[in-house]
Amino acid sequence: MASGMLDQVEKSLTDPVFKLYESGIPMYPRSSINEMIDEINHIDKKKPTIEVKQWDGRTTTYPNNPGKNKRTHIEFVRIQEVLGNPGQVWPLRLEYDNDENNKTVNYEKAKKQFYRLRDMWERSDVAKTIKSNLLRYDGCKLTGVIGLALGSFAKLGSPLSNRSLTQLAALLYIAKILNENQGRHDIPVYVQEPCFSSDERLFIHQIGKQVMSDLNGTDLFLPPPPGHLDLPAAVVNHPDGLMMIDAATVVLSISPDIAIKSFVADDIGYLPAVFITDRPPSAEQMARIPPDMLEHVLNNQTDPETKRWRDVVATRCTKIPLPEYEDGFTGVDMIIRN
């Protein structure tokens, strides 16, 4: 029921778009995204426009004028908008936003909160379930852990902050398990969250991360301070984290603001080895939504389960429901590639 509205949209497409979608053509092509990243990172200020090649072969054009103190970023348009407006709305577009936000973080308080949430999470049933399945995993050697859309943790003690820090703790825990299981110490953690302020990035560095955040493509690797977490890690810009996903990675993405499931399903060659993500609302949950709000709720799902995604999971993966955990792990599945 939760995906019914999207199913209706898929079935009501005009013939050319329906055939395109059914053929399996990627809606969010990696080649186009790489070209967009290259254009943004090496922008020619004299060039008045930036061209974006879309999934249907058409080219859309955007002005090359983000403005003072603005940055250009790649927007993944909601799949409902694309499929519901064939030939009028395209999956990829350029947006311009503020180059920096000013959220501040008290390092000592944030560190105390992080370690408290980490210790609680590592004792939880969800952590034990993830660990047992990672230890049983017998596929390829895993080379990286990627966390997408964790959300800001600047407002310490808030539900959003607790969710973000708990997911950060989960990423580090997963990397620790993989390193121990594979006899390594260098499996990196990559965190992509456009909302992070410089203070939040600095906090992540100060608990033992590497910071990689230059829009111009410069990597800044910083060693962990003595006495802090010693796993290599990086904060990366959108969509760099998405582009790192491949068959040797573990991905954690819970209630993101972009269609990560659709992106992953676009090219099964890049299907991650393990994908921890939220499942759609159950029939009981949907039944509690007022009828006059149902269409709005379904149309505004930011990472809906499309038929393409469901087919990938059904034919190529094993889905394991994870135990419930209040801070960021409610209604979550662990999807393991077969």
Tokens 């979550």 correspond to 332
Angle at 69 between CA 100 and CA 210, to 5 degrees: 35
Give the residue with greater pLDDT, 175 vs 276: 276
When pLDDT is cut at 50, 70 and 90, the band that residue 10 belongs to is low
At 64 the pLDDT is: 77
Model pTM score: 0.85
CA atoms within 13 A on the CB side of 300: 5
What's the alpha-carbon Rg for the chain, to the nearest Å? Answer: 20
Burial of residue 68, with CB atoms counted within 10 A of its CB: 0-12 exposed, 13-18 middle, 19 or more buried: exposed
Distance from C-alpha of 165 to C-alpha of 158, rounded to nearest angstrom: 11
Closest C-alpha among 277, 305, 256 to residue 150:
256
When pLDDT is cut at 50, 70 and 90, the band that residue 326 belongs to is confident
In contact, 221 and 265? CB cutoff 8 Å: no
At 109 the pLDDT is: 93
Give the residue with greater pLDDT, 196 vs 247: 247
Q: Kindly report the average pLDDT of the chain as a whole number.
A: 80
At 166 the pLDDT is: 94
Is residue 191 predicted with pLDDT exceeding 60? yes
Measure Cα distances from 264 to 12, 74, 243, 244, 268 in Å. Answer: 24, 17, 10, 11, 7
Domain spans in the chain, listed from the N-terminal domain onward? 4-98, 107-337
Bridge partners for 93 per DSSP: 75
Average pLDDT over residues 139-147: 88
Q: 107-337: what CATH class? A: alpha beta
Average pLDDT over residues 289-296: 71
At 216 the pLDDT is: 30
At 211 the pLDDT is: 29
